[in-house]
């Protein structure tokens, strides 16, 4: 193991590997678990400049490639059929590769973002990571220091399959990148002098790409076609990083435009083709509209997590490129190429920064659209309540009309009913000869009924005249107002009941408080009706 392994929590990493390996690795029959593109030393005459997509089948192939002396750069690739499936390699091959090429153990954190899953967790993607370690075979700390860094690039691509109506045609995918830099200048000479060997010493750049896109493979192939044995390879180290970064930014602008279009469609065509329940509106909001907006909001919130991670990765690559340019003596075409790549990386950083600001703008638009839907929903509810009130009023009017008709009918038949009741009493009798005789005491009917009628009218008038309804605020619930009728018979009974409770000591513990409360209750007796409770504004 390399020297930085002692700084890592290997026990925790191993436990997590054992937990997730089943969903992470699965070697595919007929497919190589690893492929490698070799950039060879093109300074030799008639030398082959590169070897593309060489299959790596076992540990022997890995060790053989590790000992190759003519390789300037090796680009290893692990493929993945679909974004949420296992990687097309085995755990044994991958761990053998990590051990042979001394890949830093924290790279496992990047590997855990791949494999089988049911849903994406945007917070599990690590940021740009780097290490510097001294070669244990070298006593020179400065000249023998190797650089290791890794990063994760997120990209968005159109799905290569049919999607259901309402689903997004876009898919967010990722590419893991590991890079090991072993500078060619001075290090090889130093190691050879210290070991007193004439055999070549390993001095190369090593890439490991996890699930790169098809476009990256096409870009690599185009660069390799332009490489000649007499010239410098166009697929240089930093150009490889540039191609990976540029590929990750291709689809974000179109994807954000797609989200904005869905937001506008949601705001302008909500419920137009649906049945209208309200006569005052031409729209209807339902659960599907709110669910659609929630999905769009989740996509936008994911952007605010993904894009800063992409920015961190590109910034890390730019800083490494700048440090390499400043620490080495690059002149001529190589120096111009690195300066051009560095300038392009700065442009990519500006582009991602702009995407982050647009994501914030999209979030504000989604918030405004959600508020619009809520306002429309509240408006439609108010219209529905108004319609219900109108319907209730119409029904009450019909009921009142029906009661009026019944009252009129009752008044029509009332005289007949009174006459019939009178002749059915003992005051009127029919003799055997068929003649009707009225009793001499018929005057008792009028003598009793007329005073009782006047007494009933007087009692009703007194009830209305000597009692009044007063609003009372409950001190425990200030927002509730109760209409109480004072000086009524029931209020007097209620007051007597309160007095009895006070005298029995059920309400207050002290004598003084009981007397005070009793006087107050006796002076202002009240009766609260459950049907007269209203809410104070």
Total of domains in the chain:
3
Query: Is residue 311 domain-resident?
Result: no
104 & 206 share domain: yes
Structure tokens at 173: 């995918």
pLDDT, block means (10 residues), the chain with 537 residues: 58 90 91 90 66 91 87 92 91 94 90 90 90 54 60 92 81 94 51 43 79 93 73 78 95 93 77 46 61 87 94 94 78 77 95 95 88 75 82 88 90 85 80 80 84 89 77 66 58 54 49 41 41 44
120 & 181 share domain: yes
Query: Is residue 195 domain-resident?
Result: yes
How far apart, in Å, do the first and last CA atoms of the chain sit?
77
440 & 475 share domain: no
87 & 184 share domain: yes
490 & 501 share domain: yes
Q: Among positive and negative, which fits the CA dihedral 5, 6, 12, 18?
A: positive
462 & 491 share domain: no
110 & 212 share domain: yes
pTM: 0.67
Structure tokens at 334: 């190589």
178 & 79 share domain: yes
531 & 431 share domain: no
The radius of gyration of the chain from alpha carbons, rounded to an integer in Å, stands at 46
The Cα 258–Cα 429 span in angstroms is 99
Structure tokens at 123: 């917070």
125 & 191 share domain: yes
**What does the pLDDT read at residue 230?**
44
Looking only at the bridges linking them, the beta strands covering 205-210 and 71-78 are parallel
Domain boundary among 182, 204, 232: 232
Query: Is residue 11 domain-resident?
Result: yes
Looking only at the bridges linking them, the beta strands covering 50-56 and 71-78 are unpaired
Query: Is residue 504 domain-resident?
Result: yes
DSSP letter at 49 equals -
DSSP letter at 286 equals -
Structure tokens at 115: 């494999």
169-196 tens-digit pLDDT:
999 999 999 999 775 444 444 444 444 4
Query: Is residue 331 domain-resident?
Result: no
The Cα 256–Cα 243 span in angstroms is 22
Query: Is residue 333 domain-resident?
Result: no
7 & 80 share domain: yes
Which residues lie below 8 Å from residue 294, measured CB to CB, with a gap of 6+? none
- Angle at which helices 511-523 and 489-503 cross, to 10°: 170
Query: Is residue 377 domain-resident?
Result: no
91 & 126 share domain: yes
**What does the pLDDT read at residue 150?**
94
Query: Is residue 358 domain-resident?
Result: no
**What does the pLDDT read at residue 235?**
82
Residue 97 and residue 34 in contact, taking contact as beta carbons nearer than 8 Å: yes
Domain boundary among 170, 202, 232: 232
The Cα 425–Cα 329 span in angstroms is 134
- Residues spanned by the domain of 498: 468-535
**What does the pLDDT read at residue 468?**
67
């Amino acid at each position: 193991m390399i020297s930085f392994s002692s700084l890592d929590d290997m026990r925790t990493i191993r436990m997590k590997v054992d937990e997730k390996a089943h969903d992470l690795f699965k070697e595919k029959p007929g497919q190589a678990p690893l492929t490698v593109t070799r950039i060879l030393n093109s300074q030799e005459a008639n030398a082959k400049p590169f070897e593309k997509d060489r299959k790596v089948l076992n540990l022997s192939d890995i060790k053989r490639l590790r000992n190759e002396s003519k390789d300037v750069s090796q680009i290893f690739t692990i493929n993945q059929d679909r974004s949420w499936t296992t990687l097309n390699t085995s755990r044994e091959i991958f761990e053998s590769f990590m051990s042979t090429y001394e890949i830093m153990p924290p790279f496992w954190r990047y590997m855990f973002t791949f494999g089988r899953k049911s849903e994406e967790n945007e917070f599990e993607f690590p940021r740009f990571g780097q290490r510097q370690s001294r070669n244990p075979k070298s006593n020179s700390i400065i000249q023998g220091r190797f650089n290791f860094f890794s990063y994760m690039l997120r990209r968005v691509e159109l799905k290569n399959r049919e999607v259901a109506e309402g689903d997004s045609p876009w898919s967010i995918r990722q590419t893991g990148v590991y890079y090991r830099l072993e500078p060619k200048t001075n290090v090889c000479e130093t190691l050879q002098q210290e070991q007193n060997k004439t055999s070549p010493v390993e001095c190369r750049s090593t890439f490991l790409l996890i699930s790169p896109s098809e476009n990256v493979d096409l870009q690599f192939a185009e660069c390799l076609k332009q490489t000649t044995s007499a010239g410098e390879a166009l697929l240089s180290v930093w150009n490889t990083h540039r191609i990976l970064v540029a590929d990750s930014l291709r689809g974000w602008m179109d994807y954000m435009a797609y989200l904005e279009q869905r937001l506008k469609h949601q705001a302008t065509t909500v419920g137009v083709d649906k049945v209208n329940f309200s006569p005052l509106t031409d729209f209807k909001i339902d659960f599907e509209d709110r669910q659609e907006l929630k999905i769009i909001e989740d996509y936008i919130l994911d952007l605010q997590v993904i894009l800063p991670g992409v920015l961190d990765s590109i910034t890390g690559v730019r800083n490494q490129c700048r440090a390499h340019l400043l620490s080495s003596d690059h002149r001529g075409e190589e120096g111009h190429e690195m300066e051009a790549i560095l300038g392009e990386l700065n442009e990519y950083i500006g582009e991602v920064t702009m995407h982050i600001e647009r994501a914030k703008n999209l979030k504000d638009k989604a918030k405004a659209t959600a508020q619009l839907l809520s306002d429309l929903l509240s408006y439609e509810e108010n219209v529905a309540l108004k319609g219900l009130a109108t319907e209730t009023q119409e029904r009450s009017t019909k009921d009142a009309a029906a009661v009026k008709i019944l009252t009129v009918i009752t008044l029509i038949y009332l005289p007949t009913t009174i006459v019939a009741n009178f002749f059915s009493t003992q005051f009127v009798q029919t003799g055997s000869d068929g003649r009707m005789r009225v009793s001499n005491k018929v005057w008792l009917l009028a003598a009793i009924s007329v005073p009782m009628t006047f007494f009933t009218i007087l009692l009703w008038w007194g009830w209305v005249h000597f009692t009044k309804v007063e609003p009372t605020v409950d001190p425990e619930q200030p927002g509730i107002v109760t209409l109480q009728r004072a000086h009524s018979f029931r209020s007097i009974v209620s007051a007597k009941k309160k007095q009895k409770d006070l005298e029995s000591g059920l309400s207050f513990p002290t004598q003084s408080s009981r007397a005070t409360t009793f006087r107050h209750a006796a002076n202002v007796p009240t009766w609260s009706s459950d049907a007269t409770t209203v809410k104070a504004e």
